[in-house]
Amino acid sequence: MKRRASTILLMASLVVGCKEGVTPARICTTEARAGIQVEVRDAASGMPAADSVTAYAQDGLFVDTLRTFPVVPPQGALTLTGVYERPGVYAVVIMKPGYRDWIHANVVVNKDECHVITVHLDARLERTP
């Protein structure tokens, strides 16, 4: 009888803790997430073009260098990442010798309860004549 009573009390406490319309607390991970991720390709060939680039994201006085992500995805594109766990409104600039500068302004990086929400960009660099 004692076991049944304790089971009923445990179940009652679980039900009370799950009130309708109340969202349980979210458990956040400890990893750092990129606010901006850019896949860089040659506009004409579609081939990866992230090697030998200078790339940064700027929000006011804050500037972060975008770096090559250490893992190359299956499709072979190289990816640049930056502004880890920093929401803001950024201008993203990519420069490569022999190509026109690629600039994308007003990139809004938002944040939820735990991490920034990564903005994915596709930079197609055009060769200079």
pLDDT tens digits, 19-77: 566 566 778 999 999 999 999 999 999 888 877 899 999 999 999 999 987 555 555 66
What's the mean pLDDT when you consider all of the chain? 83
Q: Which amino acid is at 112?
A: D
CATH superfamily of 36-125: Carboxypeptidase-like, regulatory domain (2.60.40.1120)
- Other CB atoms within 10 Å distance of the CB of residue 89: 12
User: How confident is the model over 25-35, as pLDDT tens digits?
Assistant: 778 999 999 99
What would the DSSP string read from start to end of 1-69?
Answer: -HHHHHHHHHHHHHHHHS-TTPPPPPPPP-----SEEEEEEETTT--B--TT-EEEEEETTEEEE-EE-
For range 8-22, the mean pLDDT: 46
Structure tokens at 14: 């679980």
Question: What residue ranges do the domains of the chain occupy?
Answer: 36-125
- Amino acid at the residue 6: S
As to burial, measured by CB atoms within 10 angstroms (0-12 exposed, 13-18 middle, 19+ buried), residue 116 is: buried
Q: Which pLDDT does position 50 carry in this prediction?
A: 74
> What's the sign of the alpha-carbon dihedral 57, 38, 122, 44?
positive
Kindly provide the b/e burial profile for residues 7-30, where b requires at least 16 CB atoms within 10 angstroms of the residue's own CB. eeeeeeeeeeeeeeeeeeeeeeee
Instruction: Provide the pLDDT for residue 8.
Output: 41
